[in-house]
Structure formats: structure tokens, C-alpha cells
Structure 1
Amino acid sequence: MPGQVGAISDEREGLLAYLAQMRYVLRLTAYGLSTEQLRATPTASPLSVGGLIKHCASTERGWIDTVRQQPQPVDYQAYADNFRLAEGETIEDVFAEYERVAAYTEKTVSEIADLGQAVPVDHSVPWNPKDIDAWSVRWVLLHLIQETARHAGHADIIREQFDGATAYPLMAAAEGWPETDWMKPWRP
């Protein structure tokens, strides 16, 4: 995937393309890391690269379930657990789940005629405003882009702690870009 989203023909395509791009750059933070590094928490926070990717997949699934109006119990322990890789869970497991979530999102959004369709606000959690009864599907997609981008930034910082690698050199390495004077693909 290129470093920039390509031309888009409409709002729906654009929202899905930007969400896909953010998923991609988040996944790139794991490129070349060992199992130990994927689980490591080298900053003051308890966040890890693998845990952030897992969290974003879980969060996206939860929001799309909300769009589909499928009930979801609030489970704070499960929420905390989705920020770390479980014992025996691999990054390949997390990537496979994220691929399923992405397909689920795209299928769901393609089946919705109007991105303005109401999505009920869950008032049982403290972070949602009490004076709004519904989001729109459009809002949910924008929120997912924001959430994924925020966590991609967290993952970038964690990744840099290991070997200084940043997004574009990682992308250049993963995609086989030629080395130039100004762009050196990451090397282990």
C-alpha cells in the first residue's frame, strides 16, 4: 500500500480508504519485531505494539457491532485485556483477526444506504456524552480513523524505543522501495 491514500470518488470510499491506511501504518509498527518486542512495554505506559494492534481490531469490531445494533455488554476486564497479547497469542493471530474485522467493516458499510444512519449512543460508559442519543455511521468511521491513528502514533513511539525505526523507513522496507539519498529502508 502506498504511503498516501489514492484518489477517491466519494465519501464512503474515502472514509474506508483512510481507515485502511491507518490500519496499515499501525500494522507496520510490528514489522521486523521479535515476539518479545511485540509484547514489550518500553515506555512509562503499559502499552505494547502487539497489544495496540489487538486493541484497535477489538475496538473496530465493537463499533461495527454497535452500527449493526448488536448488544455488547461492557466488560472492563476484557477491555483491559485487549491491550496485551494473551499467553500463546501471536501477532499472526492478531493480524488475521484484524483482517476479518476489516472485511466485516467494509461489508457492513457497503450494505448501508445512508452514512447518516443513526447509531445509538451507549450511555452506560462515562466517556460518551449524555446529551447525544445517536451518532451516525459517518461519525463512527471518522472516530475509527481517529482512534486507529492515535494508537498508530503510540505504536510508533514504542517501536522507536527498540531500534529507532519510523513509519516511512519501515514502509520502504516492507514494500521494497529502492534506497535513495533521502529515504533509507529500515534494516534489522
Structure 2
Amino acid sequence: MIDDFAKAYLHSDLWEIREAMLSKLDGLGEYEVRRPLTTTGTNLLGLVKHLTLSESRYFGEVFDRPFPEPLPRWDDLDARGADMWATEHETRDEITARYRRVWAHSDATIAALRIDSPGHVPWWPRPNVVLFNVLVHVLTETSRHAGHADILREQLDGTTGTATGHASPPRDAAFWTARRAEIERAATAASNGKTI
């Protein structure tokens, strides 16, 4: 009984964080979703593309249930890093639709297997796993990247919150200037007035 509960609980959290991840693209233009916002080029659409490839591997290859569409293999060194950004020839609709197809494939794998069903992750140091390990890993990775997406979206237009329907109330520039100054004062005070 606890196995069924754990599987259902983790799976429902994965559904929620997937939707939250895609909601970070809502209302933004093509440039904004593709724009590199960190030194390493991290961008919103690239995070979705990366999660697509990652989830397809974990709920596909790992359990010998490969995703039916062609995607780069995990050991293709020439393709490494290409999943972190979208070319000008890849559309947002193509990338998000593929992510949703991967969800459906992953959901079918999760539904078909017991939580203790064995899998093999050749790129892990301890490659023999069970579905439980992979569910936790994919949920963690998706949540981590959704956190990145939260920060990127805030940089773009100030939108914060876990999903479009649950966004934090908008604040004006004066509020955020005052809040930032308050946090800066606390950081300075905590460092005994030393600045770096």
C-alpha cells in the first residue's frame, strides 16, 4: 500500500512541477524565451528542451522503454549541451509539444511499472536503480530547473511565483528598491560592516 501511495504522490508532484515549468513561458515573446540570461547562456526555452531530453532518457532508456521519436543519446558527445538552447529553426510550439509527448510516454512508463521495478542508468556510478529512484531524481531535477526558470522569469519581467495562476502580487519599482535596500543593509550589518 505504501508503494502505491509513494508512486502516486511523487507522480502528482511531477505533473504539477512540469506545468509550473511551462507556465514560465506564458506571455513572453520568442526573444525573451530564448534570450541567454546567465554567463553560461541559460534561458527558459533551453530549460524546457533540456528537461524533455532528460525525462525521455530516465523514463525511456533506463527502463528499456525508449521514447519513440529520435533524440540524441546520452553518450553522444557531439550533442552534449545542445539540449540547453533552441536554434532559430526550432519553434517554441515544437519544443513544448515534444515535452508534453515525453510526459505522456513517461506517465505510461510510471503507470505500467511497480515502484520497485528495476532499471539501469549507465551514466550513474551505481547504475542499478528502481522506479522509485528515478521518480525522485526526475522530480528533483525538474524542480531544480523550475527554480532556475523562476529567477530567469523574474529577470525578464518581474513575474514571480510557482505558476501563472499562483503568481505573487505585482509590486512597483519603489517597493522592490526599498526591499533590496533593506536586504542589503541586513547583509552589510551581518558582515560587521565589511563589504567585499
TM-score band (shorter)?
A: 0.7 to 0.9
Q: 8 Å contact 1:41–1:158 — kept in the other structure?
A: no
Displacement after TM superposition at 1:70 (Å): 5.5
Structure 1 gaps, min length 5: 1-8, 174-182
TM-score, length of structure 2 as denominator length: 0.75
Aligned residues: 162
Displacement after TM superposition at 1:141 (Å): 0.8
Partners in 1 of 2:112 and 2:35 — Cα distance?
Answer: 39
Moved over 4 A (4+): 70-73
Structure 1 position 141 matched with structure 2 position 135: yes
Note closer, same or farther for the CA distance 1:49–1:14 as it changes in structure 2 (3 Å cut): same
Aligned to 2:121: 121
Specify the code of the residue in structure 2 equivalent to 1:134.
N
Sequence identity, in percent?
A: 30
Displacement after TM superposition at 1:43 (Å): 2.2
Aligned to 1:85: 86
Matches within 5 A, 1:171-186: 171-172=165-166, 184=169
SS of equivalent residue, structure 1 residue 67? helix
Larger radius of gyration: 2
SS of equivalent residue, structure 1 residue 146? helix
Aligned to 1:14: 9
Structure 1 position 155 matched with structure 2 position 156: no
Structure 1 position 52 matched with structure 2 position 12: no
Structure 2 gaps, min length 5: 67-72, 172-196
Partners in 2 of 1:169 and 1:147 — Cα distance?
Answer: 17
Note closer, same or farther for the CA distance 1:94–1:106 as it changes in structure 2 (3 Å cut): same
Give the structure with the higher percent helix. Answer: 2
TM-score, length of structure 1 as denominator length: 0.78
Bigger shift: residues 69-78 or 22-31: 69-78
Partners in 1 of 2:74 and 2:141 — Cα distance?
Answer: 21
Partners in 1 of 2:10 and 2:16 — Cα distance?
Answer: 10
Note closer, same or farther for the CA distance 1:42–1:73 as it changes in structure 2 (3 Å cut): closer
Report the aligned-residue RMSD.
2.2
Q: 8 Å contact 1:54–1:94 — kept in the other structure?
A: yes
